[in-house]
Amino acid sequence: MTPPLPSEVSPRPSACPGLWRIVAARDGGICRIKLPGGLLLADQADAVADASERFAAGVIEATNRANLQIRGVGQDHSGLVEHLLAAGLGPRDAAGDDVRNLMLSPLAGLDPAMLCDTRPLAGQILDLLESTPRFHKLSAKFAVQLDGGEALAMLEHAHDLWLSAMPRAGRVWLRFGLASSLSSGQVLGAVPVEQGLALVRAVLERFLDLATPEQSRMRQLLQTCPVEHFLEGLAIQVETTAVAWQRPTTTSPWLGVLPQRQGMALGVAPPLGRLTPAMLRGAARIARQWGDGSLRLSPWQSLVLTSLEPAELENARAQLMACGMLCHSEHPLARVVACTGSSGCAKAQADTKADAVTLAGLLPQGAPGSVHLSACPRSCAMAHPAAATLLARAPGRYDLYLRDARQPGFGRLRAANLTAEEAGVMLDLPTEHLDD
């Protein structure tokens, strides 16, 4: 069966790329592959690598929502889509693909700190989203997070709905919040984990009952609808008392050797989130040879190879580094995030990828934990404020912002109209001096 062109099946206008909706950019089309809970089988990784060479320019990106996207897509959209569908990388219903926005820990089901294995419930939620026509009306950006209490977890991304495991009376319950992150969001209630699917269904139905067409995200609805009113109409009873348990907020490093309940995992990252077909094939080969045959994408634009043979860890790391992967958090490029920039995006004010390489070479050990280069205010490469953000204002020129919880957006403006080299000098100062 030959799929129709994406423009013929897209359920609603959107600038957000998808499997079926290939969005035009300066460097060609963008096809985004939404992975179920970040899971990519080794054979599927090979299929993505093949597709990027056959139908596009050979450029693959890891996204901050634990997905992949192929850049530089040519004219044969139908051939690309059919190739990816044949590898099991999406449903044949375009509307069902759009709403598969569910984030898990890259070590879901494997993390030693987890309170529960979220994968069975995640599968049910994805089935609910794909198979319920009414939920296809949700925005392609409407996002849900399911947290099992893992140490390796993204706590700062805001989600329209998040659910987080908590212990209670010898059982696991799920606390939940709206339009916020796990690190800063208000807990609105809790249900036993067995009622997690019913809770998700109730929240999504309530949202669609109340939201206007202009209110595509939960935060927009809550600007006009009090949270109390939203909760009163939920078609499920939620517990609003005794939910004060605090989730541990110390997270594991996401690069290098990672502990599992059984075996070991290895976190690796392509420089600045960009994979070559050879990198992806190399990771797939190692996952197949010494691991469980799968890769997990992460919200740090990285990959996790799970259940590796401990005796082969160093061999695996050496081979992945030879492919060009970053395997240590101390590597300067591991601390820099950059969007596509002017080489691929018409909205970009600067070549952020090239400037990020320059900046990374100047960063000292004491620099902020993450530095984000954004070519425009949309901040496509990061879903939460970085410790330091360089916002482009012209080719090679940036304004430097430092994260400040009291300030919206990127934070507090520290300096304006800097080159990458000048920014590197400023970031070379001890952190306390950056506030002078």
- At 76-122, the pLDDT tens digits run 999 999 999 999 999 988 889 999 999 999 999 999 999 999 999 99
C-alpha radius of gyration, the chain, whole number: 21
Which position has the token pair 């590197």?
424
Same topology for domains 115-148+156-232 and 334-435, yes or no?
Answer: yes
Percent of the residues in the chain that have a pLDDT greater than 90, as a whole number = 82
Residue 58 falls in which region: left (phi positive, over 0), alpha (psi -120 to 50) or beta: left
For 284, other C-beta atoms within 10 Å of its C-beta total 26
Residue range 115-148+156-232 forms a domain whose CATH class is alpha beta
Domain ranges within the chain, ordered by starting residue: 6-98, 115-148+156-232, 256-328, 334-435
Q: What's the mean pLDDT in 223-249?
A: 90
> Does residue 435 carry a pLDDT above 80?
no
Average pLDDT score over residue span 117-131: 97
> Confidence class of residue 365 from pLDDT cuts 50, 70 and 90?
low
What pLDDT, in 10s, does the model give residues 32-65?
999 999 999 999 999 999 999 999 999 999 999 9
Q: Is the pLDDT of residue 1 over 70?
A: no
Dihedral pair phi/psi, residue 372, rounded to 5°: -115, 125
Which CATH superfamily does the domain covering 256-328 fall into?
Answer: Sulfite Reductase Hemoprotein;Domain 2 (3.90.480.10)
pLDDT average, residue stretch 351-363: 94
Angle among Cα 397, 401, 407 to the nearest 5 degrees reads 145
Q: Does the pLDDT value for residue 167 go beyond 70? A: yes
Query: Which residues make beta-bridge pairs with 296?
Result: 39, 304
Look at residue 12 and tell me whether its pLDDT is greater than 50: no
Which string of DSSP letters, residue by residue, matches 373-433? EESSTT-TT-SS--SEEEEEEETTEEEEEE--TTSSTT-EEEEEEE-HHHHHHHHTS-GGG
Q: What pLDDT is recorded for position 319? A: 97
**Other CB atoms within 10 A of residue 1 CB:** 6
Average pLDDT over residues 377-390: 92
Q: What is the pLDDT of residue 6?
A: 38
pLDDT digits (tens, 9 = 90+) for 400-414: 999 998 888 899 999
Confidence of residue 8 (pLDDT cuts 50, 70, 90): very low
Question: Which segment of 15-24, 37-46, 72-81, 303-312 scores lowest on mean pLDDT?
Answer: 15-24
| CATH class for the region spanning 6-98 | alpha beta
For residue 219, the 8-state DSSP code is H
**Domain 334-435 CATH class label:** alpha beta
